[in-house]
Structure 1
Amino acid sequence: MKAELISTVFLSEKRKNTLITLMEGPATIDEIKDSLTGTTSAIMAQVKILLEQGLIEQEEDEYRLTSVGRIIMKRIKPLIETLNVLEENKDYWHSKDLSAVPEFLLDRIGEFGNVMIHEPDLNHLFEPPKDLLTSLKKTKSASTFYSYFCPSCPCNYSELAKKEVSYDLILTKPVYERLRDEYTEQHNAMMESRNSNIYICNDNILKVGALSVTDDLMLIAFFNKDGVFDHKKVICFDESARKWGKDLFLHYKQNSEKIK
């Protein structure tokens, strides 16, 4: 029976997605169809199997998860989300060193949702993605961490400071010292802002390359397994991804010393 239930869920995309849809609440066959791809007859064939396995039940023209179906899906949904994230960009994830992410957050990596891998061309290698720059212009808050020096960081965050946008910026000690010594005007603007906070991260903690969380996106960049930064960045727009990013940022913040 255990193998039968597993195959019922995983061996059909339509069955799997129907169950995920019904986790949001009861739905008619037309509503299920709207969230999937396929004909009504094809979806009905899979719904019939789910009914036979006792994972869903029908009440009038609506279908809903049974108690057993809900118990199973609460356990399986995080796995499905994780597989979706990792399989979509398998080569990228295989090449990255994820050791800087605490285990409890690695367990939640399915929360990234829809992932976009940004790979700049040689003419824009040291520039942040346009999605991030656009987001920073309109965000009301930001949480950012850099373990390398980003040339546009002084300008971007001094502008946020002048607009009194609320943000926390965590830097490694060498990165902060370069900001302070080589970009004095921008550094002073950031220091004078009432709503900006700057931190220096503990040298002993493992670090990702970069992390930014704004009101509408999360960006994260990892080093590869050889310790090299290849400028590829993960960008996610789901609310769950932003929550994940804030939790990782808090991990770094707790291991940092506030400068102002």
Structure 2
Amino acid sequence: MKTELISTVFLSEKRKNTLIMLMDGPATIDDIKKSINGTTSAIMAQVKILIEQGLIEQKDDEYRLTHIGRIILKKIKPLIEALNVVEDNKDFWESRDLGAVPDPLLDRIGDLGEIMIHEPDLNHLFEPPKELLTSLKQTKNVCTFYSYFCPTCPYNYAELAKKEVNYNLILTRPVYERLRDEYTEQYNAIMNSQNSHLFVCEEDIIKPGAISVTDNLLLLSFFNKKGLFDHKKVISFHKSARQWGQDFFYHYRQLAEQVK
């Protein structure tokens, strides 16, 4: 029975996605069909299996999770979401050094949702992705962590400060010192802003390449397993991903010292 239930959930994308959809509430066949690609007959065949296994039930023209179905889905949904994040970009994740991510956040990796991997061409290696630049123009809140120096970033920092965006910025000490010493005007704009808060993280702390969280976007970068930064970045627009990014940022905020 144990193997049969696992097979029921995992050996069919339609069954798996139907169960996840029903966690949000009852749905008709038409609702399921809109959410999941497939003909009515194909979906009905999978729904029948889920009913036979006691995972869902029908009431009038709607289908809903049974109590057993809800118990099981609460346990396996995080696994399904983690698999979706990793399997769609397996080569990328295998090459990343994730030692900077606290274990509780690794356990929630599925919160990143549907992600895109940004890999710039040679002409744009040191420029932030367009998605991030667009978001920075619209957002009212930003949390950013950088452990490498991005030549265009001081100007972006200063622009946010001048607009009095609620901005929290963490830099490693070498990056901070370069900002302070070589970009005086931009540094002063940050320090003179009432809503900008600058923090310094010591170099000996295990850290990611970058974290940026805005009102609608999460951007992450990690060093690869050779300790090199190869400019590949993760971007997600999911609400759960932004919360994950906030929690990741505040992990480093607790390890940093504010510049006053």
Q: What's the TM-score bracket when you normalise by the shorter of the two chains?
A: over 0.9
| Residue correspondences, number | 260
Separation in structure 2 between the aligned mates of residue 123 and residue 243 of structure 1, nearest angstrom: 32
Matched, 1:149 2:149: yes
- Give a deviation string over 1:55-101, Cα, whole Å, max 9, x none: 00111111100000000000111101000000001100000000000
Aligned to 2:3: 3
Q: Is the partner of 1:69 in helix, strand or coil?
A: helix
Q: Please state how far the C-alpha of 1:202 moved relative to its aligned partner.
A: 3.0
Separation in structure 2 between the aligned mates of residue 11 and residue 175 of structure 1, nearest angstrom: 48
Aligned to 2:23: 23
Q: Please state how far the C-alpha of 1:203 moved relative to its aligned partner.
A: 2.9
Q: Is the partner of 1:27 in helix, strand or coil?
A: coil
- Give a deviation string over 1:154-200, Cα, whole Å, max 9, x none: 10010111111110000000100000000000100110000000000
Separation in structure 1 between the aligned mates of residue 107 and residue 49 of structure 2, nearest angstrom: 31
Aligned to 1:66: 66
Q: Is the partner of 1:205 in helix, strand or coil?
A: coil
Q: After superposition, where does 1:78-89 map in structure 2 within 5 Å?
A: 78-89=78-89
Aligned to 1:113: 113
Aligned to 1:224: 224
Aligned to 1:256: 256
Aligned to 2:43: 43
Aligned to 1:178: 178
Aligned to 1:158: 158
- Give a deviation string over 1:84-143, Cα, whole Å, max 9, x none: 000001100000000000011011010011110000000000000000011111110100
Q: Is the partner of 2:225 in helix, strand or coil?
A: coil
- Give a deviation string over 1:221-255, Cα, whole Å, max 9, x none: 00000000000000000000000000000000000
Amino acid of the structure 2 residue aligned with 1:45: A
Aligned to 1:91: 91
Aligned to 2:206: 206
Aligned to 2:54: 54
Separation in structure 2 between the aligned mates of residue 163 and residue 18 of structure 1, nearest angstrom: 45
- Structure 2: gaps (5+ residues): none
Amino acid of the structure 2 residue aligned with 1:75: K
Q: Is the partner of 2:116 in helix, strand or coil?
A: strand
Separation in structure 1 between the aligned mates of residue 133 and residue 143 of structure 2, nearest angstrom: 14
Q: Please state how far the C-alpha of 1:204 moved relative to its aligned partner.
A: 3.0
Q: Is the partner of 1:41 in helix, strand or coil?
A: helix
Amino acid of the structure 2 residue aligned with 1:229: F
Separation in structure 2 between the aligned mates of residue 75 and residue 202 of structure 1, nearest angstrom: 38
- Structure 1: gaps (5+ residues): none
Runs of 4+ in structure 1 over 3 Å off:
none
Q: Is the partner of 1:72 in helix, strand or coil?
A: helix
Q: Is the partner of 1:19 in helix, strand or coil?
A: helix
Amino acid of the structure 2 residue aligned with 1:11: L
Aligned to 1:77: 77
Q: Is the partner of 1:199 in helix, strand or coil?
A: strand
Separation in structure 2 between the aligned mates of residue 37 and residue 167 of structure 1, nearest angstrom: 42
Separation in structure 2 between the aligned mates of residue 34 and residue 77 of structure 1, nearest angstrom: 21
Amino acid of the structure 1 residue aligned with 2:115: V
Q: Is the partner of 2:136 in helix, strand or coil?
A: helix
Matched, 1:243 2:236: no
Separation in structure 1 between the aligned mates of residue 232 and residue 146 of structure 2, nearest angstrom: 14
Normalising to structure 2: TM-score of the pair?
0.99
Q: Is the partner of 2:231 in helix, strand or coil?
A: coil
Separation in structure 2 between the aligned mates of residue 14 and residue 169 of structure 1, nearest angstrom: 43
Separation in structure 1 between the aligned mates of residue 157 and residue 141 of structure 2, nearest angstrom: 11
Q: Please state how far the C-alpha of 1:153 moved relative to its aligned partner.
A: 1.3
Q: Please state how far the C-alpha of 1:152 moved relative to its aligned partner.
A: 1.2
Amino acid of the structure 1 residue aligned with 2:3: A
Separation in structure 1 between the aligned mates of residue 126 and residue 174 of structure 2, nearest angstrom: 18
Q: Aligned Cα RMSD in Å?
A: 0.6
